[in-house]
Amino acid sequence: MPVRIHFTDDDLAHIRLAQTPDPLWEALLSMHVLQTNTASAVFGPWRRAVRPELPGPVRELLRLAPPHGYSPDFLTPAGAAGGLEAGIGALLSTPRGRLRHDLLELSRTGRKLPSWAPSLAEGDGEAVAHLAQALRTYVRIALAPWWNGIRTRLDAERSLHDRFLTKGHLDDLLGRLHPGLSWKPPVLEVGGLGGADRDVRLDGRGLLVLPSYFCWRRPTLLRDPTLPVVVVYPMAHDTAVGRTTRPRPSLGALLGQTRTEVLESLAEHHGMTTTELARGVGIAPATASHHAGVLREAGLLSTSRAGQAVLHTLTPLGLALLDG
C-alpha cells in the first residue's frame, strides 16, 4: 500500500531538489545494499572492495541498518544536507526521546542490535559519540573513494529535473521522477514501502526531493511524518560508479578532438542540450547531434528528454574516461 503525501499550493511552491548527495542517506542506503547481493552489475565491484575493509566496530553498525524493513530515522537527520560533519553534528544533537523511540521500533523487528544500543537509547554521550565515529569510518571506507562519481550522477539527475523546477512545471517534475512515485494532484503516492499505508500532510512544510545512488529499486522516506519530509528515489544507473583518482590523459588521439571537447563540455556544465553543446564546442547542431549519438552508443553519455529538448549528460563511464 502507498504512502500518500498531500500538497497545498504553498507546498508546491516549496518543492526543493537536492543540490548535492546526502552523505548520511547514502551511508544508510549503502549499508542496506552491502548486506545483499542484488544488482551485482552496479554494486558488485563496490561490495567486493568494501566488505573486506570494514573493521569489527563498523560491522556492528550494520545491525542498525537491516537490508529490509525499518531503519532508525535518527540515522538520516536533515542537517546532513550540509555535508558529513553537519550531519554528524545533527546526529550528536538527537534528543534522547528520538533515540529511544527509534531503537525500540527497530527492536520490535527481532533484529539483533549492537552491544552499545541500550546506552544509545538512554542518550549516553559516549554511545552517541561511538555511533558518530563509526559512521565517519564507514563513510571514509565505503563512500569517500566513490564520492566524485556519486556526485556526478546526482548532477546529471539534477540537470534533467532543474528545467522543470525553474520553469514551474511541477506536474512534469513530480510525474517523471521515478516509476515508484505516482503524482495524482494534489497527492504524491510513494509505493512499495513494505505494507505502509498512511497519509502525510505537508501543511506548508514543503518537500525535499533527493536522488540517491544507493537507493535501489523503489523510493523511500522517513517513518515519522512529523520530521522534515524527504522523498528519496533511485538515480538512473548506466554502469557501476568507479573510483576517479588518476590524472586525466590526453584523449584526442583516441576519440578525436571534437568528441573529447564534447565530453569535457558536458563534465563542466553537468548536462547540456544539443543546441547548448553545439554552441559550447563551436560546431553545427547537426554535427553536435551526430557526435553525441556516437558517444551515446559507446556508453560515454546518456540522453534524456527535458520538455521539447533533449539533455545530454556524462555517464559514470564517460567521467571515468576523462579522469583516466
**Domains delineated in the chain:** 3-19+148-234 (no CATH), 23-146 (no CATH), 252-322 (1.10.10.10)
Please determine, for residue 247, whether its predicted confidence score (pLDDT) is greater than 60: no
pLDDT of 261 reads 87
Please determine, for residue 269, whether its predicted confidence score (pLDDT) is greater than 80: no
pLDDT of 244 reads 40
For residue 311, name the pLDDT band (cuts at 50, 70, 90): confident
Residue found by looking up cell 528520538 in the block:
98
167 vs 251: CA distance, rounded Å: 37
Q: Which of 130, 112, 146, 107 is CA-nearest to residue 35? A: 112
The strand order across the sheet containing 272-273 reads: 272-273, 309-314, 301-306
Please determine, for residue 21, whether its predicted confidence score (pLDDT) is greater than 90: yes
For residue 241, name the pLDDT band (cuts at 50, 70, 90): low
Please determine, for residue 122, whether its predicted confidence score (pLDDT) is greater than 50: yes
**Distance (Å) of CA 127 to CA 45, 242, 297:** 33, 34, 51
Residue 307 C-alpha cell reads as 520538455
Residue found by looking up cell 533515540 in the block:
99
Q: Which of 232, 223, 250 is CA-nearest to residue 73? A: 223
